[in-house]
Amino acid sequence: MKVSAENPKFNGKAPHLLIEKGDIGEVVLLPGNPDRVKMFEDLCDDYKIIASNREYTVGTGTYKGYPISVCSTGIGGPSAEIAVIELIELGAKALIRIGGTGVLKKEIKCGDMVITTGAMRLGGSTNFYAPAEYPAIASYEVIDCLIDACKEAGVDYWKGISASIGSFFAGQGRPANGKTFHDKDTIDKYKNLNIINMEMESETILTLGSLFDIFTGTLCAVHANRETDEWLYDFGPAQMQMNKIALEAVVLFYKRYLSK
């Protein structure tokens, strides 16, 4: 079988996700961890895992009658870039990141939800697509649905600018193997910019979504607070609540914006 190195396809399937057109719904949720894709088996109807390769696991089914797919992105910008580009080429119309985040404001509690309105582009991969001045912004339509889904669930939520960073340790002000490679005021710099949280994939998803005219957004459950130095060890309940909110937001999104 001859395969193009410039634009590889394997029997019509995307080279990393190993799925083809028709396999996914128009709206795809994007957790980082492949194990979280399996959490939707108990939440959706007719849901099944259709592919698993490297950090990418893809599941698809329906929720309240609406098609929904879930695809893990792995950690960080380069891994997320691959998933996003392949999903867009396969026909996705909306991509919504769901994951964990660390916050920079003491009033935000572990277990709360954060809705990203825009992100600092510190992930790395999108520098190959657009200049630094190009913004990473979430779609108003997705933000609208995420806010209403949080309200309906009675969950405390916060919205604002995220720092989307291609580093978990030095880039987020953590020591690495006992050494300090970051500036001592790294976190303060983010706080002075009124950044509310740090994570690793949103700017990649938001930037590429804008470039290719795809709806995008991010909903994260808080599992760390850097101001109070708290870490949510048992993250399972917050993850599941986030998943349920995301699914309800998808239903709203279909009704308000995709069925017109």
Residue 26: alpha-carbon gap to chain centroid: 16
Please state, in angstroms and rounded to a whole number, the distance separating the CA atoms of residues 81 and 188.
29
Among the listed residues 182, 71, 72, 212, the one whose alpha carbon sits nearest the alpha carbon of residue 122:
182
CB half-sphere exposure, 200, CA atoms < 13 A: 20
> Active-site residue numbers?
16, 86, 174, 226
Tokens (6 digits) for 79:
């891994």
Q: Which residues pair with 26 in a beta bridge?
A: none
The DSSP letter of residue 21 is: T
Q: 43 near 247, Cβ under 8 Å?
A: yes
Instruction: Using alpha carbons only, give the angle 207, 210, 214 rounded to the nearest 5 degrees.
Output: 115
The CA radius of gyration of the chain, in Å to the nearest whole number, is: 18
